[in-house]
Amino acid sequence: MSQRVLDVRNLEAGYEPGVPIVRGASITVGKGEIVVVLGPNGAGKSTLIKAIAGLVPITGGTVLLDGSDITAAPAHTMVRLGLAFVPQTENIFPLMSVEDNLKVACGILKPREIPARIGEMYAAFPDLARQRKTVAGNLSGGQRQMLAVARALIVHPKVLVLDEPSAGLSPKFVAMVFEMLAGIRISGVTILLVEQNAKAALAIGDRAYVLVEGKDRHEGVASELWNDPVVAELYLGQRRLDPERDRHSGKGSAA
């Protein structure tokens, strides 16, 4: 981890004044890494990354992107700064075609670059190419996630931030999503990933944090965390990390 793409220090954030949800969380993401954020329901994982993306008011701490302070940057400037965010739900425009979903995200590209860039996304996601005229709301769950990810990648982000991209998908699509993320990392994109599906996320991740009550309580190498008793304690109480049960307990936990 030579170079820090994302450096979050002592972040405090919440929806209402005086009610902090994120309470002094610190995480870093190195260049080319996949960093996973785990934690029980309601720990503030979504709030943490929404705050990083400029969608939840920040009351303390700093967010550095490639060394520059983006703590106070408005949400719509994030793609230009190099941070692309994929929310957990409602992450596509349901009434627009697949192609228009991609085009509308190209605001920071030069107009003449756009067709070629969309072509690159279609090459990377052939499913989307086949459905380019389809209204996005009619896509399957897995294809929607693909579209949301393609839409985020299209602007060449320095870091891709995802909120539970596998939530609510059938097992086949869950596997597809994690394969896709591993592929994206190989292409050189840095990833910050919030996941309930701990086993699959730790399998593709480099490092991971456990967030509890809005604070990072534990950090480690992803492959080691799986068998770390402290994690089991923090994350699941008495329970072992069990992907099957994770999936059930994760149901209905909207962003």
Partner 1 sequence: MNLQFVVDGLLAGSMIGLGAIGVTLTYSILRFSNFAHGDFMAWGAYATLAAVGAIGAMFGKIAPIAPLSFGWPLIAAVVIGMAITGLLALLLDLMLFARLRAKGQAIIVVMASFGASMALRSLLEFIFTSRPTYFSRAIQIAMPVGFGIRITPDQIALLLLTAVLVLGVHLLMTRTQTGRSMQALSQNAALARIVGIDVAKVVRVTWIVGGALACVAGVMIGILIQIRPFMGFDMLLPMFAAAILGGIGSVPGAVLGGLIIGLAEAGAVQLIGAEWRAAVSFIILMTVLFVRPIGLFGVRER
Pairing between β-strand 207-212 and β-strand 34-38 as defined by DSSP bridges: parallel
Task: Decide: is 197 part of the binding site for Mg ion (CB under 5 A).
Answer: no
Task: Decide: is 35 part of the binding site for partner 1 (CB under 8 A).
Answer: no
Alpha-carbon distance of 94 to 178, in angstroms, equals: 23
Alpha-carbon distance of 234 to 255, in angstroms, equals: 21
Q: Of these, 44, 142, 165, 168, which contacts ligand ATP (CB under 6 A)? A: 44
Please, are residues 62 and 69 in contact by the beta-carbon 8 Å criterion? Answer: yes
Task: Decide: is 226 part of the binding site for partner 1 (CB under 8 A).
Answer: no
Which helix (H) or strand (E) segment is 202 a member of?
helix 198-204
**Two structure tokens written together for 144:** 């929607």
Q: Of these, 5, 12, 28, 47, which contacts ligand ATP (CB under 6 A)? A: 47
Task: Decide: is 132 part of the binding site for partner 1 (CB under 8 A).
Answer: no
Contacted by 118, from partner 1, ligand ATP, Mg ion, none: CB < 5 to 8 Å by type: none
Alpha-carbon distance of 42 to 148, in angstroms, equals: 24
Task: Decide: is 254 part of the binding site for partner 1 (CB under 8 A).
Answer: no
Alpha-carbon distance of 222 to 181, in angstroms, equals: 15
Task: Decide: is 52 part of the binding site for ligand ATP (CB under 6 A).
Answer: no
Give me the residues that bind ligand ATP (CB under 6 A), please.
15, 21, 39, 41-47, 196, 253, 255
Give me the residues that bind partner 1 (CB under 8 A), please.
53-55, 74-80, 85, 87, 90-96, 100, 103-108, 111, 137, 151, 155
